[in-house]
Amino acid sequence: MMRTTAAALMLSLLVGCSESPTGAVDKTQVISSSTLQDVDFNTEGLPTVAFTVPSMHCEVMCTPKVRETLAKQPGVKDVRVDLESKTAEVAVEKEGLFDPSKAIEALEMADFTDVTLKADAT
């Protein structure tokens, strides 16, 4: 009897935690992560370089791997990755430390193929 009561209590806690209060808006459904990232990306207005990464297929593994690989490159101040358009954009220091060809090499070493510079970078 005590196990049944404990199980019922745990179930009610789990169900209660997963529901939003009446009238509350679940912001994760309204605002996508890419929208939030757009707001936070390159707030300093630095020059950007964009890449096309056609072999990026999933948000769970690929997107973080592309972001981490590019973030490790010298001169990178910020990174934005968009799975839907299969692009990555980096905001770079003005001093010229960033080398796009080395970034492409690093992405290829991370198993991303056919990476190219995107023509419309600023």
Residue 84 has pLDDT above 50, yes or no: yes
Q: Max Cα separation, the chain?
A: 71
CB atoms within 10 A of CB 55: 15
Domain assignments of the chain as residue spans, ordered by start = 32-117
pLDDT tens figures, 98-107: 999 999 999 9
The CATH number that domain 32-117 falls under is 3.30.70.100
pLDDT tens figures, 36-51: 455 689 999 999 999 9
**Tokens in use for 103?**
């970034």
